């Protein structure tokens, strides 16, 4: 996917779109800022040829369409302007503000406790939202199915069974989850916070967004402690947290093993392995507290 191809697609999907500046290439997408009828907008089209990323873009289009139909969450998000799910391509309103941090894995000492709390404020607003049509939000609560591909690979088979049993027999509350909670996906202005990139937004057990943020803040221990302290309630959310930390660590480890060019790859693999073991230690302890087989919390 080139900037020229994106420009051609935009003229078809969004007539009147006027680019402002050069396209921006991310790891998986091409972004183009522009104006449409005097409004600042941004176009997004996947560049990764794998069908999975195209499905993620279609998922994001569906989320914006759902918000348009049933109303959005109390935290600011962009509005859908135009979309072509076949390409796929979407154009949304450009939100004002500055990302809380530009890096997915912020370097040591670069994230304060105050910044972390700002991110958690935005996530809490999303998590507490109760949409008028719950079934309109996709369901991504099947942790056993998501853990299964890692069994016997980055995850020991016995540990995969334990995590599956823990997920099946506990009643972790369900919440609307952003799905890719890192500081770069939160914009801040003087008086508000907004969430970007909704390609993973879905219903999930409470703790998933906290788990992602915990993983990405590996080099900022004080910020990590803030994330953990934020999930003392509701009951059962701590179980969802540690299952999700294990799941996210498995996914990140698989990605780092697959891509030799990722920044700080070897150090990240070491840290992610430690995070996985920490999650498993907590999960084993929580599993001992389960009632006899056949019972639930």
Peptide bond into 286 cis (omega under 30): no
Residues 179-224: pLDDT tens digits?
Answer: 999 999 999 987 789 999 999 999 999 999 999 999 999 999 999 9
Residues 238-248: pLDDT tens digits?
Answer: 999 999 999 99
pLDDT above 90 covers what percent of the chain?
84
Q: What is the pLDDT of residue 297?
A: 56
Q: What is the pLDDT of residue 217?
A: 98
Say if residues 150 and 217 touch (Cβ distance below 8 Å): no
Residues 134-146: pLDDT tens digits?
Answer: 999 999 999 999 9
DSSP SS3 for 84: strand
Q: What is the pLDDT of residue 263?
A: 87
CATH topology assigned to domain 99-288: Aminoglycoside 3'-phosphotransferase; Chain: A, domain 2 (3.90.1200)
Has residue 18 got a pLDDT over 60?
Answer: yes
Tell me the C-alpha distance between 124 and 113, whole Å: 16
Tell me the domain boundaries of the chain: 3-94, 99-288
Instruction: Name the least confident of 106-115, 178-187, 234-243.
Output: 234-243
Average pLDDT over residues 117-143: 96
Q: Nearest to residue 78, comparing CAs of 26, 114, 40?
A: 40
Average pLDDT over residues 62-86: 96
What does CATH list as the number for 3-94?
A: 3.30.200.20
Has residue 23 got a pLDDT over 80?
Answer: yes
């Amino acid at each position: 996917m080139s900037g020229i191809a994106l420009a051609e697609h935009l003229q078809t999907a969004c007539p009147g779109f006027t680019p402002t500046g050069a396209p921006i290439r991310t790891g998986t997408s091409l972004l183009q800022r522009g104006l449409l009828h005097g409004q600042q907008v941004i176009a997004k089209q996947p560049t990764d040829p794998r069908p999975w990323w195209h499905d993620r873009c279609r998922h994001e289009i569906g989320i914006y369409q759902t918000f348009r139909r049933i109303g959005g969450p109390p935290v600011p998000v962009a509005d859908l302007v135009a979309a072509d799910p076949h390409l796929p391509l979407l154009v949304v309103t450009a939100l004002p503000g500055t990302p809380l941090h530009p890096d997915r894995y912020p370097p040591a000492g670069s994230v304060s406790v105050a910044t972390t709390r700002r991110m958690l404020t935005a996530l809490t607003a999303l998590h507490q939202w109760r949409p008028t049509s719950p079934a309109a939000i996709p369901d991504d609560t099947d942790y056993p199915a998501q853990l299964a591909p890692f069994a016997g690979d980055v995850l020991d088979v016995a540990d995969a069974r334990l995590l599956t049993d823990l997920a099946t027999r506990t009643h972790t509350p369900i919440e609307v989850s952003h799905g890719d909670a890192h500081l770069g996906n939160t914009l801040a202005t003087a008086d508000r916070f907004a969430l970007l990139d909704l390609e993973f937004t879905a219903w999930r057990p409470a703790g998933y967004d906290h788990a992602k943020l915990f993983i990405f803040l590996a080099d900022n221990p004080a910020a990590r402690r803030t994330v953990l302290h934020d999930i003392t309630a509701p009951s059962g959310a701590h179980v969802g947290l540690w299952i999700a930390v294990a799941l996210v660590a498995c996914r990140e480890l698989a990605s780092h093993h697959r891509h030799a060019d990722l920044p700080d790859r070897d150090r990240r693999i070491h840290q992610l392995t430690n995070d996985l073991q920490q999650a498993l230690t907590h999960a084993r302890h929580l599993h001992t507290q389960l009632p006899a087989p056949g019972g639930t919390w």
